Amino acid sequence: MGRIAKVVVEISLDREFDYLVPAGLRSVIAVGTQVEVPFHGRDLRGFVVGLAERSAHEERLKEIAGVVGERPLIPDRVMKLAYWIAEYYCAPIEHAVRTVLPSAVRRRGAQAKRQLVVSLVEGDVGCLSGLQARVVALLKERGPLLLRAVVEELGCSESPVRTLDKRGVVSIALAEQGRDPLAGRALVRTAPFELMEEQAQALGIIREAMVAEPRETVLLQGVTGSGKTEVYLQAIQSVLERGEGAIVLVPEIALTPQTVERFRARFGAGVAVLHSGLSDGERHDEWHRIRRGEARVVVGARSALFAPVEALGLIVVDEEHEPTYKQEESPRYHARDAAVMRGRLEGCCVVLGSATPSLESCRNVKRGLYRLARMDARVDHRAMPVMRVVDMAAEAERLGRPSLFSAALIEGLYDRLDRGEQVMLFLNRRGFSSSVQCERCGYVNECSSCSVSRHYHKGAGKLICHVCGSEERVPGACPSCGDPTFAYRGSGTEKMEEVLGKLCPRARIARMDSDTMRRKEAYQEVLDDFRAGKIDLLVGTQMIAKGLDFPNVTLVGVLNADIQLHVPDFRAGERTYQLLTQVAGRAGRGDVPGEVIVQTYSPHHPAIRAAQQMRAEIYLEEDLAFREELSYPPFAHLVMVTFRGLEEAVVMQECEGFARRLGAMLPEGVVAAPVMPAPLARAKGFYRFQLMLRCEHTVKMTAPIRHLLGQLKLAKGVRVTVDVDAMSLL
């Protein structure tokens, strides 16, 4: 089968081209094979992403010239996973294949960087000039060195080395040099800890799941600081001892450098790290190190799930509840769910870890699909932080005006700083204020392409749209009525930092958000300074919420817990509970017990009470009842079909037309909501309308959608996206 191969060529990765498969190559060409093809008079390298019997361009087809390499680049099971993703998430197979094979690996240009290495040749060195003698002495002392290093060290040109090479005293040769993304960071190797009792039990359950037939998925529910990472490390140790490999997914690698370092510290060079900050060359090298079996432990964000690890024994998904595991472009896969699927295809155990598991995973435990391992105590029985909830409405009443910092938080701050302890303050909104309004006529600066107000960024002196990034200088006066006074509503991290500077003039403050962390190294630098005690107060957005472990942090403040709570999304409560618990988990990780102060206008909301009392049940009960009643996840799967286009009426018509035709095809058990404007009704100039479907079986929704999309003729300029198991409803 497969007369025609669909090939993506290296210079145009977004498009595939059809080629004839010569009869002699039929048996060796499969999806995943790298090939050589003629392309506009050149020979290019390409990659087979699909096979077909027919082509729309039959008369113009050229033949594939040859096959590169002995085996397909993508391991068979990863290829199967790509097909599953395409099918389940209603995405073209080409998108799925592109996702499982990084472009850095597909492209020829990205071959391992080869560097010149100089080494001494045995034998008589003869008579040398002064510089030449120094080169020889250096190599005698240090062994073979990069040519570049020799030149730098001696402050000379390459010519004395080249001369020595000609005379046969030294040799200069090309050597493949793996670019190590963590080079330069000193690592102290760690030995396994002796496990706490709960950790040992959890590890026992995981070990059982690793040999059970079929292999099982384990939900490791452990409070912050209970030592989940140590359990992963020791589980991986057993995997390695059996000669197998492991993949560890972390939500955002830039935000979890400490976790990554712990894997490197335990397993050394056997760990490959994949993340978005890598250069193409680094990514290419890491990928091939894994493919060759030199690195058998892979740590990375979402896409590391597709690493070509052979004999996979374990997949760990840390912080499994994190919405960042969902890719927000096609293919819109959820890495946690895809991980469970890869586990099934590979026949390997999957561990999902979290202090605040998603309701989906909790339900899978209830249904007997996953095993549960719980760790309710912190390592060494350190106290869980005490959470105080401050009612900001009462606070405003007392002060006669709303304030950013409550008296309790200010007092706590002073107290901790006096004692030389550190504080983290969290506010999930960057910039200075979320809107700028004229005090006289009420004019608000809104983005011209999106249905949101622009945020004020004081440092930059600009109003910036957080959806499309468009900016404007701050006007000197209201463009509508000419009045010069503006009200700045909805404080962000920039404002928090400014107010804090006045409250604590002597404290050393650092702010961490995507505005201050533009440079690649900035994040690590601030964290290093914080660890070294050069910073007293760390303020920031969710960037500081996750995974950080600083023993001297004894107070964590949440300035406004309501921001997350009032997002128009049925998961708003769940997310608030998770976020508060995560943030709180940063406090009291050392010997001094931690304290958390949460400011809110909704002190009695179940999500906040649940986080305060560390009892997920409080909030779960209420939320689960409502979700079951309305067939929301985890009781059903959810598919969001979004139409967008430049003309509002046309987009709405298209969406409604689609909904009508689909409605006639939907089987029993599918709940279809009426067509609605999306909560973010306009973004980047596009009007957006949505159709939400819910059903216990995804395929009952995706099969008819796929069928209908196949015959759909959309009005010009209208686009449609299908988001299966959507995490963002905006």
Least distance CB 542 / ligand ADP (angstroms):
16
Considering only the stretches 142-150, 249-257, 442-450, 590-598, report the one whose residues sit in contact with Zn ion under the rule CB under 5 A.
Answer: 442-450
CA 583 to CA 598: how far, in whole Å?
A: 10
Q: Is residue 447 near Zn ion by the rule CB under 5 A?
A: yes
With CA atoms as reference, report the closest residue to 493 among 541, 456, 536, 535.
541
Question: Six-digit token pair at 416?
Answer: 């901790």
Name the binder of 620 from ligand ADP, Zn ion, none, CB < 5-8 A by kind: none
What lies within 8 Å, CB to CB, of 512 at 6+ separation is: 523, 526, 538, 539, 540, 541, 543, 544
| DSSP structure string for 525-548 | HHHHHHHTT--SEEEESGGGTSS-
Q: What angle do CA 83, 89, 94 make, to 5 degrees?
A: 45
Question: What does the DSSP 8-state code read for residue 571?
Answer: T
Among 237, 449, 552, 631, binds Zn ion (CB under 5 A): 449
Q: Is residue 563 near Zn ion by the rule CB under 5 A?
A: no
Question: Six-digit token pair at 682?
Answer: 């306009």
When the beta carbons of 132 and 224 are compared against ligand ADP, the nearer one is 224
When the beta carbons of 190 and 470 are compared against Zn ion, the nearer one is 470
Least distance CB 550 / ligand ADP (angstroms):
10
Name the binder of 225 from ligand ADP, Zn ion, none, CB < 5-8 A by kind: ligand ADP
Cis peptide before 214 (omega within 30 of 0): yes
Least distance CB 447 / Zn ion (angstroms):
3
Q: Is residue 450 near Zn ion by the rule CB under 5 A?
A: yes
Least distance CB 183 / Zn ion (angstroms):
40
Helix (H) or strand (E) holding 230: helix 228-241
Q: Are 358 and 365 in contact (CB under 8 A)?
A: no
Name the binder of 228 from Zn ion, ligand ADP, none, CB < 5-8 A by kind: ligand ADP
Question: What does the DSSP 8-state code read for residue 477?
Answer: S
When the beta carbons of 125 and 379 are compared against ligand ADP, the nearer one is 379
Sign of CA dihedral 576, 578, 583, 585: positive
DSSP strand pairing (422-426 vs 537-540): parallel
Least distance CB 288 / ligand ADP (angstroms):
31
When the beta carbons of 231 and 290 are compared against ligand ADP, the nearer one is 231
Least distance CB 197 / ligand ADP (angstroms):
10
Least distance CB 716 / Zn ion (angstroms):
23
Name the binder of 465 from ligand ADP, Zn ion, none, CB < 5-8 A by kind: Zn ion
Q: Are 97 and 82 in contact (CB under 8 A)?
A: yes
DSSP strand pairing (671-672 vs 686-695): antiparallel
Q: What angle do CA 720, 726, 728 make, to 5 degrees?
A: 95
Least distance CB 350 / ligand ADP (angstroms):
18
Among 468, 561, 563, 565, binds Zn ion (CB under 5 A): 468
Name the binder of 227 from ligand ADP, Zn ion, none, CB < 5-8 A by kind: ligand ADP
When the beta carbons of 195 and 673 are compared against ligand ADP, the nearer one is 195
* Category of 40 on φ-ψ map: left (φ > 0), alpha (ψ -120 to 50) or beta: left
- In 205-296 the beta strands, taken as DSSP E runs, fall at 217-222, 245-249, 271-274
Name the binder of 516 from Zn ion, ligand ADP, none, CB < 5-8 A by kind: none
Q: Is residue 467 near Zn ion by the rule CB under 5 A?
A: yes
Least distance CB 259 / ligand ADP (angstroms):
8
Question: Six-digit token pair at 673?
Answer: 């909501």
Sheet with 34-39, edge to edge strand ranges: 12-20, 4-9, 42-52, 34-39, 66-68
When the beta carbons of 598 and 683 are compared against Zn ion, the nearer one is 683
Name the binder of 224 from ligand ADP, Zn ion, none, CB < 5-8 A by kind: ligand ADP
When the beta carbons of 115 and 258 are compared against ligand ADP, the nearer one is 258
Least distance CB 449 / Zn ion (angstroms):
5
With CA atoms as reference, report the closest residue to 8 among 64, 90, 83, 58.
64
Name the binder of 230 from Zn ion, ligand ADP, none, CB < 5-8 A by kind: ligand ADP
Give the gyration radius of the chain's Cα atoms. Answer: 29
CA 500 to CA 496: how far, in whole Å?
A: 6
Least distance CB 275 / ligand ADP (angstroms):
19
Residue 642 backbone phi and psi in degrees, to 5: -120, 130
When the beta carbons of 250 and 729 are compared against ligand ADP, the nearer one is 250
When the beta carbons of 31 and 253 are compared against ligand ADP, the nearer one is 253
Name the binder of 221 from Zn ion, ligand ADP, none, CB < 5-8 A by kind: none
Sign of CA dihedral 533, 536, 540, 542: positive
Name the binder of 346 from ligand ADP, Zn ion, none, CB < 5-8 A by kind: none
Least distance CB 348 / ligand ADP (angstroms):
22
Least distance CB 586 / ligand ADP (angstroms):
10
CA 107 to CA 69: how far, in whole Å?
A: 14
Name the binder of 690 from Zn ion, ligand ADP, none, CB < 5-8 A by kind: none
Considering only the stretches 63-71, 105-113, 463-471, 546-554, report the one whose residues sit in contact with Zn ion under the rule CB under 5 A.
Answer: 463-471
Q: Footprint of ligand ADP on this chain (CB under 6 A)?
A: 193-196, 199, 222, 224-230, 379, 549
Helix (H) or strand (E) holding 659: helix 648-665
When the beta carbons of 202 and 670 are compared against ligand ADP, the nearer one is 202
When the beta carbons of 176 and 591 are compared against ligand ADP, the nearer one is 591
CA 565 to CA 428: how far, in whole Å?
A: 11
Tell me which residues touch Zn ion (CB under 5 A). 447, 449-450, 465, 467-468, 470
